[in-house]
Chains A and B, each alone.
Chain A
Amino acid sequence: MPQFRAKKLDLGGFVNARIIRDHTRRKVYERFEEERQALRYVIRNTTLPQAMRTKAQLELANMHAYTRPTQIQNRCVMGGTARSVFRAFRMGRFQFRMNALAGDLPGVKKASW
């Protein structure tokens, strides 16, 4: 969403539109996380008045989609793919293989027995 996008690109590695989008979502989530957690607390707290809790529910539901953590998708840092991304290496399977074979990932070795 244009209202959240950074004016100046602050990414250093591989960049494409989807990575920029995902990065923006992450930053937006970081900014609104406390607000979301506060609303979630009000919703879960059964000792608070029901009207207040319902209002909090509506408010949380009406927050922008970019503030939602479920919108965040781990993408390959080297190539931008969203599928079969290793969490530990932040890389897609093919980029992982290429980097591992090139010896760029310390401690990763091709299995052979």
Chain B
Amino acid sequence: MATSVAKSRLLDLTRTQCNLFQTTFNPERLRTGNKILRQRLKGPSLAAYYPRKPSTLRDLQDDFNKLDLITYDEDEEYRLEGIQIAKFRGKGAPKKKRVADTTKKGRKRK
């Protein structure tokens, strides 16, 4: 029935096929590197391998404080209260020295 089909006709057929199925028309079979572009990015799944640090109440409070919203941290209040009491009793931490130490002791340490 069919004798011989012209090459240009066959090319047209492939082109239409490529159009229809949304594939690249590449009759010379050139290496265009499209396979790289087709690959999915693996980075996000690889980076999610180790469990991340869960967000804590402290993080939430920090976020709130950034927005000038007041939060209440019981442990922190307790700590500050203890420091106050220690200071009243004269048992607080010594003040930090602002200027460079020029006393004998300081020089010796160097």
Residues of A with Cβ closer than 8 Å to B?
A: 9-13, 19, 22-23, 26-27, 29-31, 33-34, 37, 40-47, 69, 72, 74-75, 77, 90
Q: 1/0 per residue B18-50: CB within 8 Å of A?
A: 000000000000111101110101111011011
B contact patch SS:
loop
Given contacts A30-B44, A47-B30, are A23 and B36 in contact (CB under 8 A)?
A: no
Determine if B110 is an interface residue (Cβ-Cβ < 8 Å). Answer: no
Residues of B within 8 A of A30 (CB): 43-44, 46-47
Chain B interface, number of residues (Cβ within 8 angstroms): 20
Complex CA–CA separation, A13 to B50 (angstroms): 7
Question: Within the complex, what minimum Cβ distance (angstroms) separates B40 from chain A?
Answer: 10
Counted as pairs of residues, one from A and one from B, with CB atoms less than 8 Å apart, the total is 70
A contact patch SS:
helix
Complex CA–CA separation, A13 to B30 (angstroms): 48
